[in-house]
């Protein structure tokens, strides 16, 4: 039996729409959760771990490849979990256990295999905090302003990219790397688990509200939620041309952008920059990441998503061309900024693209598959740069490979149809 409830015509103008609190939870989760700590903070630990335990830098840096390829396996699982149980029930335990596990690296023994195993376990227990969870939560509260909401949520990773490298480097220099692991783990549970516990709800209808802060007249909460999630099933999507083009594009973009990001700090040190300066350059990347995600989210409601992504990719291609010359001046800040803009936009484009072209019915599963594809490419790109350093003693050959992948990604995006076609009603699995 359907239970009908009265939904307000609009939220009182003096109150903050609850959806913006959900967005705030997403900002903090993206900024200080699993992916932020593993990709933005962990790279700062490469040099001190190598120095302390006499591990080769290339091998320590290759742990990022292991992280990326573990995400490949775990992302589809995340999609299944959040579609079946809802975001809140998956995200809360995952964020708490991950933060505790990251802090436990304080006790890391001098064994590279043990380090690799612990990192893999961190990726797996943090599965509920991947970006798909926060994007799906935002989609439960926004419709007309969905692009902006996703952009703001995604900008949280830029916040982490700005703060975490500098904070980690500062703490390592003053208190050692073990203490830095404990600090970051504690910060993660405080800024991800606690806000989600009190503020995160899966859908506006959970609180008898309408999306975007507006309601309808007399509709049941269940009816509102069900009508909102029409779209294709995962099986149907896997055979569509638009999905295949997107999968190829994000595979190559993952190699191009994340491969560079994971190696940027040790690469700059190899160019002759100090560890402190390299961390500051990484923070400049974080500022650009915030701008890229906010700007990308704003423009997605106005510009065809694949063309927008192509425009953002031009900057990193220029940056990589400069990096092939092993620059030692301030131009590295510009290069890092250009890369940050593109990485900021790509997360927005992926989340928005899935919503517009495939619908919301199987959003978590589809996002999980594309996210896996993206991080498979990320692992490959990280591996290419690490092997370039090990084999040729420099990063230039690997950078040229990444430039080629960026051009191929643009070609795949050009092939996406201009107008998405969703089914007229929700399709049952």
Q: In this predicted structure, what is the pLDDT of residue 173?
A: 93
Split at pLDDT 50, 70, 90, the class of 186 is: very high
Q: In this predicted structure, what is the pLDDT of residue 385?
A: 82
Q: How far apart are CA 90 and CA 271, in angstroms?
A: 43
Q: In this predicted structure, what is the pLDDT of residue 244?
A: 95
DSSP result, 34-99? HHHIIIIIGGGGHHHHHHHHT--HHHHHTHHHHHHHHHHHHHHHHHHHHHHH-HHHHHHHHHHHHH
Q: Are 293 and 54 in contact (CB under 8 A)?
A: no
Q: In this predicted structure, what is the pLDDT of residue 2?
A: 42
Please give the share of the chain, as a percent, with pLDDT higher than 90.
39
Q: Are 362 and 368 in contact (CB under 8 A)?
A: no
Q: In this predicted structure, what is the pLDDT of residue 208?
A: 64
pTM for the model = 0.73
Of the ranges 138-147, 293-302, 404-413, the best mean pLDDT one: 404-413
- pLDDT for 293 beyond 60: yes
Q: How far apart are CA 411 and CA 408, in angstroms?
A: 5
Q: How far apart are CA 61 and CA 385, in angstroms?
A: 10
Q: In this predicted structure, what is the pLDDT of residue 412?
A: 95
Q: In this predicted structure, what is the pLDDT of residue 216?
A: 47
Q: In this predicted structure, what is the pLDDT of residue 215?
A: 55
Mean pLDDT of 383-387: 81
Split at pLDDT 50, 70, 90, the class of 284 is: confident
Nearest of 253, 267, 393, 381 to residue 335 by alpha carbon:
267
Would you state the structure tokens that stand for residue 83, as one six-digit string? 């579609």
What is 12-414's CATH superfamily? MFS general substrate transporter like domains (1.20.1250.20)
Q: In this predicted structure, what is the pLDDT of residue 217?
A: 42
Q: In this predicted structure, what is the pLDDT of residue 185?
A: 97
Split at pLDDT 50, 70, 90, the class of 378 is: confident
- pLDDT for 198 beyond 90: yes
Domain extents in the chain? 12-414
pLDDT tens digits for range 265-283 = 888 988 998 888 887 887 7
Q: Are 119 and 224 in contact (CB under 8 A)?
A: no
Alpha helices in 86-190 (DSSP H): 87-103, 112-125, 131-139, 146-175, 177-188
Split at pLDDT 50, 70, 90, the class of 29 is: very high
pLDDT tens digits for range 72-108 = 888 888 888 988 898 999 999 999 999 999 999 999 9
Average predicted confidence (pLDDT) for the chain: 85
Q: In this predicted structure, what is the pLDDT of residue 310?
A: 94
Q: In this predicted structure, what is the pLDDT of residue 228?
A: 54
Q: Which of 7-16, 208-217, 303-312 has the lowest mean pLDDT?
A: 7-16
Mean pLDDT of 242-262: 89
Q: In this predicted structure, what is the pLDDT of residue 3?
A: 45
Nearest of 74, 217, 227 to residue 140 by alpha carbon:
227
Mean pLDDT of 55-70: 86
Mean pLDDT of 24-37: 94
Q: How far apart are CA 402 and CA 411, in angstroms?
A: 15
Mean pLDDT of 141-151: 80
Q: CA torsion sign, 199 to 204 to 207 to 212?
A: positive
- pLDDT for 254 beyond 60: yes
Split at pLDDT 50, 70, 90, the class of 55 is: very high
Which carries the bigger pLDDT value, residue 181 or residue 300?
Answer: 181
pLDDT tens digits for range 223-243 = 445 555 678 888 899 989 999
């Amino acid at each position: 039996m359907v239970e009908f409830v009265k939904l307000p015509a609009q939220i009182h103008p003096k109150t903050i729409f609850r959806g913006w609190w959900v967005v705030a939870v997403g900002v903090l989760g993206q900024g200080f959760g699993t992916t932020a700590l593993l990709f933005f903070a962990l790279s700062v630990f490469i040099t001190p771990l190598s120095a302390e335990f006499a591990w080769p830098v290339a091998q320590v840096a290759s742990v990022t490849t292991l992280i990326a390829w573990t995400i490949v396996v775990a992302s589809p699982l995340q999609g299944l979990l959040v579609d079946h149980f809802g975001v809140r029930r998956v995200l809360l335990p995952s964020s708490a256990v991950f933060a505790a596990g990251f802090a436990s690296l304080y006790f890391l023994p001098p064994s590279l295999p043990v380090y690799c195993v612990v990192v893999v376990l961190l990726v797996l227990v943090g599965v509920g905090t991947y970006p798909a969870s926060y994007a799906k939560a935002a989609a439960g509260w926004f419709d007309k302003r969905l692009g902006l909401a996703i952009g703001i949520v995604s900008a949280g990773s830029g916040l982490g990219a700005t703060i975490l490298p500098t904070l980690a480097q500062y703490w390592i220099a003053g208190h050692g790397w073990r203490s830095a692991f404990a600090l970051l783990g504690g910060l993660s549970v405080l800024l991800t688990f606690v806000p989600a516990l009190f503020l995160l709800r899966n859908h506006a209808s959970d609180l008898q509200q309408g999306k975007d802060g507006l309601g309808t007249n007399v509709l049941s909460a269940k009816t509102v939620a069900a009508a909102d999630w029409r779209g294709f099933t995962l099986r149907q999507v896997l055979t569509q041309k638009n999905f295949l083009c997107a999968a190829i594009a994000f595979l190559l973009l993952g190699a191009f952008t994340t491969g560079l990001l994971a190696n940027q700090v040790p690469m700059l040190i190899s160019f002759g920059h100090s560890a402190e300066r390299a961390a500051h350059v990484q923070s400049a990347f974080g500022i650009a990441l915030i701008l890229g995600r906010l700007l990308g989210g704003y423009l997605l409601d106005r510009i065809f998503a694949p063309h927008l992504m192509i425009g953002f990719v031009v900057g990193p291609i220029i940056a990589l061309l400069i990096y092939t010359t092993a620059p030692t001046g301030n131009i590295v800040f510009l290069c890092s900024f250009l890369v940050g803009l593109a990485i900021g936009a790509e997360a927005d484009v992926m989340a928005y693209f899935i919503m517009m072209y495939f619908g919301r019915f199987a959003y978590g599963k589809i996002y999980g598959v594309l996210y896996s594809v993206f991080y498979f490419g990320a692992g490959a790109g990280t591996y290419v740069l690490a092997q370039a350093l090990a084999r040729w003693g420099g990063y230039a050959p690997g950078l040229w490979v990444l430039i080629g992948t960026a051009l191929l990604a643009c070609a795949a995006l050009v092939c996406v149809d201009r107008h998405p076609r969703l089914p007229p009603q929700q399709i049952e699995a």
